[in-house]
Amino acid sequence: MRFELTFLACAATALVAPAVAQPASDALTCAWPVSRDSDEAALVKSFGAGNVVHEDIDIGEGATEPASVIFPNDPKRRIEVLWYFADKRQKPKWITVRRGSTWTFSQAPPDRRRITVGASLADVEAINGRPFLINALGWALGGYALDWQGGALARAGSDCELTLVFEPHPKATDAAVRRASRGSKFKSTSREMRAVMPIVGSMSLSWRPPSFAGIVKPERRRNDIARAGIFTR
């Protein structure tokens, strides 16, 4: 009798629960929650129509671009999705999570260590396995991790590329920030970067343009992403 009541209660709960597929994990990958062949219809199917909205995203220098935004009003779960075919909302260009997000990026097996928004420079360097290059601070593309120098993070996945943007720690001094804003780029091990105690301010995954898959060089793709303006707010 008790089993029957329990079964009926569970069945009733299933009937009234919203038909929204919940994320199986908080880890972003090249295949989830957005993959190379995704469109907005797939996002709506996964997260529910009320959790996917249209927004114009600031891409820098006064320009905006139409995007699909998942969980727009929840900073912890918000994901911004820009498309190669923006009018049809098809073929993702990149996805970005920003300050306050609890999404993580999971390194490919067998390394399961994760990167989070707010991660320290030392944490990212340890996962990469070696120092890397970062843009000088103080401008629209400041803090971009430019080149993983052949480290583990250069291989985010077979289909996409990881971009991190660093920002000074709130406790960094103004003098230290000024020093890290001079020049063009720094090694992650440089005295200037260490002095500002950088943390990850935003995290993005990007995909090759559909018509040039397998042709676009990684350096070219990084430049395209940078021009698209994935920057912290």
* Each residue's pLDDT tens digit, 22-43: 444 688 888 888 888 899 999 9
Whether 9 is in a domain gets the answer no
The answer to the question of residue 10 being in a domain is no
More confident residue, 11 or 192: 192
User: Is the pLDDT assigned to residue 125 strictly greater than 50?
Assistant: yes
19 found inside a domain: no
Longest CA–CA separation in the chain, Å: 75
How many domains are there within the chain?
Answer: 1
- Structural domain contains residue 1: no
Contact 52, 33 (CB under 8 A): no
Residue 20 lies in a domain: no
pTM, two decimal places? 0.77
Per-residue model confidence (pLDDT) at position 148: 94
Per-residue pLDDT, 212: 53
Which domain, by its residues, includes 140?
Answer: 25-228
β-strand 114-116 against 79-85: which pairing, if any?
unpaired
| 231, amino acid identity | F
Q: What local confidence, expressed as pLDDT, does residue 17 receive?
A: 34
Name, in order, each residue with C-beta under 8 angstroms of 4's C-beta and a sequence gap of 6 or more. Answer: none
Residue 2 covered by a domain: no
List pLDDT tens digits, range 145-173.
989 999 989 877 767 889 999 999 999 99
69 is a domain residue: yes
Tell me whether residue 223 is in a domain: yes
Residue 211 confidence (pLDDT): 67
